[in-house]
């Protein structure tokens, strides 16, 4: 090497700029031997010395050695690339490890890990065969002889199920219940089956095992048919299994229990409330809303008071305003006995009212009815008249005419206090007794 050549002088200057010293020739034209700033001697490419892209290999090895010793390991030599080195681990196994990983610590010996996994597999009656694509999985031979990839944690916990054996089992259970297992379902809890009827459906294997399933397609077909038979149209699902949405014969859409449709035992709520509204109007009332009980509704009565009335009573006009009634009970009233005759039917009617004639019009009797007042006794208050009336009814309640016998004539009310003609003398005697008790 010519120390006085312009090239060498240039190399000396470039080395000095990096705090290094040119010592001599390298193993080829591109490298030279230098003493680095740390004092170590090293071959460095002249271009790298110019640009500063080099490190002291000796210092680096010392650092890696120290880092390995700090982890109880020993640096043995180079690894697969610049980032890896071969180390001797505390357990005695040799392993390539990333230098940064060694610096951080927490090194795990993969040989020891495989040994452990092998032992864990043995405990479960399995055999470790090799690695899997997923580093958390290994390939094992299961006790049944089938090979399968299993999560190492599942193997340790003994939570291993052979998928092939499971499939065989599900297939057999399906066959026992007239089904064919077709494949996986929406999640691990479901499978797709072909049912006896030929339709395909997702089912939980447990319900197949128990035979506790039905074909939704067949059920829908059946419900469709049942709906058609009752003039309805099945529209869709309802709030629960027992319900579906239907278009009713009237055209309204409503949720109905499937059983009710089958039996034809359903009512359109819209039509029904329309009907109740109309029935109320016919009685001079107005439907305001629902009642506390199912067969009650809130109405505005002709007098202007609001009251809950049974829908059937509203239809027949069989209601009294409790507020008006209360006031009328403190006003003068009459206890009366009527003889009513419609063609060949005749009966007696006992009651009390401020005005007997007015009361009669509220029975809704047919026009042909002949009404004769047999007796009418005045009282100072409705309360007194009512007390006497109630007492008589109580004593003769077994003699009263059943409601069904007079309901036909009493279309609007008063059918609960009627007696047969044979009771005439008995009732007259009651009126006679009144006169003696309280002469007026």
Residues that bind Zn ion in the complex, under the rule CB under 5 A: 38, 40, 56, 58-59, 91, 93, 109, 111-112, 144, 146, 162, 164-165, 197, 199, 215, 217-218, 250, 252, 268, 270-271, 303, 305, 321, 323-324
CA separation, residue 34 to residues 17, 60, 154 (Å): 13, 16, 58
| Beta carbon of residue 328, minimum distance to Zn ion (angstroms, whole number) | 10
Handedness of CA 407, 413, 417, 418 (dihedral sign): negative
| Beta carbon of residue 257, minimum distance to Zn ion (angstroms, whole number) | 17
Q: Which residue has the tokens 């982890």?
A: 71
Listed in order, strand segments (DSSP E) in 277-426 are 286-290, 296-300, 306-310, 333-342, 345-353, 370-379, 418-419
| Beta carbon of residue 262, minimum distance to Zn ion (angstroms, whole number) | 18
Decide: helix, strand or coil at residue 159.
Answer: coil
| Beta carbon of residue 130, minimum distance to Zn ion (angstroms, whole number) | 18
Helix (H) or strand (E) holding 386: helix 382-395
When the beta carbons of 9 and 252 are compared against Zn ion, the nearer one is 252
| Beta carbon of residue 121, minimum distance to Zn ion (angstroms, whole number) | 15
When the beta carbons of 5 and 212 are compared against Zn ion, the nearer one is 212
| Beta carbon of residue 165, minimum distance to Zn ion (angstroms, whole number) | 3
When the beta carbons of 324 and 374 are compared against Zn ion, the nearer one is 324
In angstroms and rounded to an integer, the radius of gyration of the C-alpha atoms of the chain is: 52
* Token reading at 13: 């200057």
When the beta carbons of 19 and 378 are compared against Zn ion, the nearer one is 19
CA distance 74 to 86: 9
When the beta carbons of 91 and 424 are compared against Zn ion, the nearer one is 91
Task: Give the number of other CB atoms < 10 A from CB of residue 234.
Answer: 21
CA distance 172 to 180: 9
Task: Give the number of other CB atoms < 10 A from CB of residue 68.
Answer: 22
| Beta carbon of residue 294, minimum distance to Zn ion (angstroms, whole number) | 19
When the beta carbons of 48 and 339 are compared against Zn ion, the nearer one is 48
When the beta carbons of 323 and 374 are compared against Zn ion, the nearer one is 323
Task: Give the number of other CB atoms < 10 A from CB of residue 276.
Answer: 16
When the beta carbons of 111 and 224 are compared against Zn ion, the nearer one is 111
Spell out the residues 6+ positions from residue 45 whose beta carbon is closer than 8 angstroms to its own.
30, 31, 54
Task: Give the number of other CB atoms < 10 A from CB of residue 377.
Answer: 17
| Beta carbon of residue 248, minimum distance to Zn ion (angstroms, whole number) | 5
When the beta carbons of 270 and 424 are compared against Zn ion, the nearer one is 270
| Beta carbon of residue 78, minimum distance to Zn ion (angstroms, whole number) | 18
Listed in order, strand segments (DSSP E) in 115-227 are 127-131, 137-141, 147-151, 180-184, 191-194, 200-203
Decide: helix, strand or coil at residue 437.
Answer: helix
| Beta carbon of residue 269, minimum distance to Zn ion (angstroms, whole number) | 8
When the beta carbons of 146 and 228 are compared against Zn ion, the nearer one is 146
414 sits in the region (left: phi over 0; alpha: psi -120 to 50; else beta) called left
């Amino acid at each position: 090497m010519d120390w006085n050549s312009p090239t060498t002088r240039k190399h000396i200057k470039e080395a000095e700029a990096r705090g290094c010293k040119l010592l001599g020739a390298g193993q080829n034209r591109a490298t030279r031997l230098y003493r680095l700033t740390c004092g170590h001697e090293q071959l460095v490419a002249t271009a790298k010395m110019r640009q500063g892209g080099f490190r002291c290999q000796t210092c680096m090895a010392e650092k890696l050695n120290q880092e390995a010793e700090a982890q109880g390991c020993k640096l043995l030599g180079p690894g697969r690339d610049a980032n890896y080195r071969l180390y001797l681990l505390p357990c005695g196994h040799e392993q390539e490890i990333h230098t940064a990983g060694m610096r951080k610590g927490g090194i795990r010996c993969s040989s020891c890990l495989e040994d452990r996994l092998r032992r864990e597999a043995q405990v479960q009656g399995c055999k470790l065969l090799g690695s899997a694509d997923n580093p958390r999985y290994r390939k094992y031979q299961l006790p049944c002889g089938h090979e399968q990839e299993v999560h190492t944690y599942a193997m340790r916990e003994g939570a291993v199920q052979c998928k092939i054996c499971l499939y065989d089992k599900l297939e057999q259970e399906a066959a026992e219940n007239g089904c064919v297992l077709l494949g996986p379902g929406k999640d691990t809890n479901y499978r797709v089956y072909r049912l006896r009827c030929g339709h395909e459906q997702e089912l939980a294997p447990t319900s197949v095992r128990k035979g506790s399933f039905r074909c939704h397609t067949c059920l829908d077909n059946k419900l469709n048919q049942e709906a058609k038979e009752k003039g309805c149209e099945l529209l869709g699902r309802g709030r629960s299994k027992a319900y579906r949405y239907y278009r009713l014969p009237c055209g309204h859409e409503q949720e109905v229990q499937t059983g009710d449709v089958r039996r034809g035992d359903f009512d359109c709520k819209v039509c029904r409330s329309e009907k109740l509204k109309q029935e109320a109007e016919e009685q001079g009332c107005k439907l305001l809303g629902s009642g506390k009980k199912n067969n009650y509704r809130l109405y505005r009565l002709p007098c202007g008071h609001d009251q809950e009335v049974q829908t059937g009573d509203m239809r027949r006009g069989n209601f009294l305003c409790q507020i008006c009634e209360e006031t009328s009970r403190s006003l003068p009233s009459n206890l009366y006995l009527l003889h009513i005759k419609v063609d060949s039917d005749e009966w007696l009617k006992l009651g009390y009212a401020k005005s007997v004639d007015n009361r009669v019009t509220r029975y809704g009797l047919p026009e042909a009815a002949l009404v004769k007042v047999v007796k009418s006794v005045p009282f100072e208050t409705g309360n007194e008249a009512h007390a006497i009336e109630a007492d008589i009814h109580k004593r003769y309640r077994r003699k009263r005419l059943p409601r069904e016998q007079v309901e036909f004539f009493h279309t609007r009310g008063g059918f609960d206090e009627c007696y047969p003609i044979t009771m005439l003398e008995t009732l007259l005697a009651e009126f006679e007794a009144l006169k003696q008790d309280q002469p007026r």
